Homo-oligomer: A and B are copies of this chain.
């Protein structure tokens, strides 16, 4: 079991009825996507010609920030507000989708874009799944 699932289970209460497994999976997927996007931005910057990767860099920068905040907010169980969760998961889904669209064009040439595309796709799916269960 991951630390995430361990922490969710040890919370004293205030669970608000969210599906525990979908929640833990989403937290881990968006946190992993944030890590992948941060590293992909950096790898793009080290490219021979970073100017050709501007759209990918921008998409990954935003995706890293939104995913990181989403992981943090989802990790809280006390006094949740479903409107905030929904709106943030929706923003996260959109940012992940943008990242997939921008990075996959370079997935053949850049291995880091390929790995990042995979992480962003999994995060997008995890947000979509969790949105359905809120």
Which A residues are within 8 Å of any B CB, using their own CB? 3-4, 6-8, 10-14, 27, 31-32, 35-36, 38-40, 42-43, 45-51, 54-55, 57-59, 61-62, 64-66, 68-69, 71-73, 75-81, 83-84, 87-88, 90-91, 93-95, 98, 110-112, 114-116, 119
A-B contact pairs, 19 of them (CB 8 A): A3-B35, A4-B39, A6-B115, A7-B43, A7-B115, A10-B110, A38-B76, A39-B75, A42-B58, A42-B76, A57-B78, A57-B79, A62-B76, A65-B73, A83-B94, A84-B94, A87-B90, A87-B95, A91-B91
The one of B43, B71, B95, B119 that contacts A11, using a Cβ cutoff of 8 Å: B43
Question: Could you list 7 further interchain pairs (A-B, Cβ under 8 angstroms) beyond the known A7-B112, A10-B115?
Answer: A7-B115, A10-B110, A14-B46, A38-B72, A46-B77, A55-B79, A62-B76
The one of B10, B78, B115 that contacts A54, using a Cβ cutoff of 8 Å: B78
Q: Report the copy number of this chain in the oligomer.
A: 4
Asked whether A58 lies within 8 Å of B78 as measured between CB atoms, the reply is yes
The one of B6, B43, B48, B81 that contacts A98, using a Cβ cutoff of 8 Å: B81
Asked whether A47 lies within 8 Å of B12 as measured between CB atoms, the reply is yes
Closest CB-CB distance, A67 to chain B, in whole Å?
Answer: 10
